[in-house]
Structure 1
Amino acid sequence: MKLPVGITTLHLSRKSVYLLLLAIALLGFGGYSYVQQGQAVDTAVTVQATVDSADVERIDSRRSIEYEPEIEYTYQYQGETYTSDQVFPGPTVRTYSERSQAQSIVQSYEPGTTVKAYVRPSAPGDAFLIRERTPWPVQASAIGTVLLGLVVLAGLGEQRPGRYELRPVEEVQSPTSQTWIKRRGETLHRLSKRSLAVCFGAFWLSMVGLFFGILNLTGEADSSVQPTQTDILGPVGLPLLAGFGFWVGMVLSLCLYGVWSFTQYRQLRRRLHQPTPPSPFKHPSRLVTILGTDSDELPEYGRRVRTTGWAFVIAAGMTAIIVRLLYGAI
């Protein structure tokens, strides 16, 4: 599919079209929610509300468990009585990964008490309790922007990068000196793959241990009046600490594999016919296109570029998850 954009044309595959639609949807919904929240925060007036009920709802999904504070309250505005269960402004619902986070909000709204609520004069039936923005609109817009950038890079780049034939090894003169990584290439290759497999398996074993540790801790909490404290070396803390360590081990293994794979890529580049095409690692549009191409459609050179790129991309994503968790724990 060809999409004219200004003085250029984007060449979009079927995958790129799906990503483009998803990016537009995220940008549109994120922008709409951001504007709605801003208007609600800026124009809302204060009213007195009576809390009818307050509880924490558990939301189970295939990937995770989240908790939503559910607070229902009644208020009057300009002589009319309304009922709302909206906690934050805007059309989105804010959930939490920890029950204690949602409970900390609910505990401030005991049923039967009178609290402050905020009402937009233009939408008196959509009151809310906490006058602050939720992070979802910014997050959705950021994800949409990243996806849109990837689609544009893939659409502007060469349509068949990485599909180059290689010269025979005999025609390529090997460099007189070899790097430390090249001399120990096979050792690094085996070490990175084995350590990745070990860390991957050990991580999921630690998650199983964490699951049973939480069940054990929950049982003790139910049978005791006093709240149960978790120990870093206890049935929950120890597998959690081990899982964190094995996650870091997977990141390091991927980086080690990526370094080895990059040396293999450089060796393959010496076998390309002249003139040598630009390096995909210096041209993001080429790299994005190769990463989105099926491995079966690429020759040896393209597969090596794809493998190397994905190793570093996955390692970067896993590192971002670590940073996000550490930032949330502070």
Structure 2
Amino acid sequence: MSSGGERDRGRRSGMGLPVQPPKPGTAMSAFVLLVGLGIVGVGAYSYVTDSAALDGRVQVTAEVTETGVEEVTASRGRDAYVPVVTFRYEYQGTTYTSNRLYPGQSQPQYQDRATAQERVSAYAVGQRVPAYVDPDAPGAAFLEDSRSGQPTGAFFVGLAVSLVGAVGLYQARAEARARELLP
């Protein structure tokens, strides 16, 4: 005769069996997978919005009004340097000011001030330069007629993180199945 504990061992909620929380490896792997998929989604969304801005862009002439390098806090508390080029332009009779080098929200960040300064050196205050306007967002013109590369990078980083999470989840599930087969 078996004890009540042995009888309850295989029960799951709703079917007479107890619910067991996921093993730490399973939960962590699922979390890493979801974070990776989130990063993939952000990268893909940014890529698509950058593409839309580049596809519908209108070239205008802009005047550089200010240049500089902004120090920001990047990942893991490190300092990063962002090249800033502020310019004024007119689109459909309205004057706007922008400081975007590339379309979209992502702007380049560099690990050292010299590299960011070198990037800014291509522009001088008072210089007339081509700028590109997305007619759907005329106040957010940009100077570089290309993507920054950050959305693509985010996509591939997210893909790598997702792969790590998926492999971890697979291994955790395989270990759980192996434990179930033990006598």
Give yes or no for the alignment of 1:57 onto 2:70: yes
CA change 1:37–1:46 in 2 (3 A) is same
What's the counterpart of residue 34 of structure 1?
47
Alpha-carbon offset, residue 98 of structure 1: 2.6
Q: Distance in 1 between matches of 2:117 and 2:178?
A: 53
Q: Deviations over 1:179-231 (max 9, x none)?
A: xxxxxxxxxxxxxxxxxxxxxxxxxxxxxxxxxxxxxxxxxxxxxxxxxxxxx
Q: Which has the higher contact order (CA 8 A, sep 6+)?
A: 2
Q: Tell me the SS of whatever aligns to 1:28.
A: helix
TM-score (normalizing by structure 1)? 0.43
1:185-200 correspondence to structure 2 within 5 Å: none
Q: Distance in 2 between matches of 1:110 and 1:162?
A: 66
Q: What amino acid is aligned across from residue 159 of structure 1 in structure 2?
A: E
What's the counterpart of residue 23 of structure 1?
36
Q: Tell me the SS of whatever aligns to 1:48.
A: strand
- Greater helix share, structure number: 1
Give yes or no for the alignment of 1:147 onto 2:177: no
What's the counterpart of residue 204 of structure 1?
none
What's the counterpart of residue 101 of structure 1?
115
Q: Distance in 1 between matches of 2:146 and 2:115?
A: 16
Alpha-carbon offset, residue 162 of structure 1: 9.3
- Greater strand share, structure number: 2
What's the counterpart of residue 79 of structure 1?
93
Q: CA RMSD in A?
A: 2.3
Q: Distance in 2 between matches of 1:107 and 1:95?
A: 15
1:84-163 correspondence to structure 2 within 5 Å: 84-157=98-171, 158-160=174-176
Asked if 1 retains the 8 angstrom alpha-carbon contact of 2:30 and 2:166, the reply is no
Structure 1 unmatched runs, 5+: 1-10, 164-330
Q: Tell me the SS of whatever aligns to 2:175.
A: coil
Q: What amino acid is aligned across from residue 94 of structure 1 in structure 2?
A: P
CA change 1:73–1:20 in 2 (3 A) is same
What's the counterpart of residue 14 of structure 2?
none
Alpha-carbon offset, residue 124 of structure 1: 1.0
Asked if 1 retains the 8 angstrom alpha-carbon contact of 2:33 and 2:164, the reply is no
What's the counterpart of residue 8 of structure 2?
none
Structure 2 unmatched runs, 5+: 1-22
Q: What amino acid is aligned across from residue 175 of structure 2 in structure 1?
A: Q
Q: Distance in 2 between matches of 1:64 and 1:154?
A: 29
Matched residue pairs, number? 153
Asked if 1 retains the 8 angstrom alpha-carbon contact of 2:88 and 2:95, the reply is yes
What's the counterpart of residue 256 of structure 1?
none
Q: Distance in 2 between matches of 1:19 and 1:33?
A: 21
Asked if 1 retains the 8 angstrom alpha-carbon contact of 2:26 and 2:168, the reply is no
Q: Distance in 1 between matches of 2:178 and 2:120?
A: 55
Asked if 1 retains the 8 angstrom alpha-carbon contact of 2:34 and 2:162, the reply is no
Q: What amino acid is aligned across from residue 67 of structure 1 in structure 2?
A: Y
Alpha-carbon offset, residue 112 of structure 1: 2.1
TM-score (normalizing by structure 2)? 0.74
Alpha-carbon offset, residue 21 of structure 1: 2.5
Q: Aligned residues: percent identity?
A: 35
Q: Distance in 2 between matches of 1:26 and 1:67?
A: 23
Q: Distance in 1 between matches of 2:33 and 2:121?
A: 42
Alpha-carbon offset, residue 60 of structure 1: 4.0
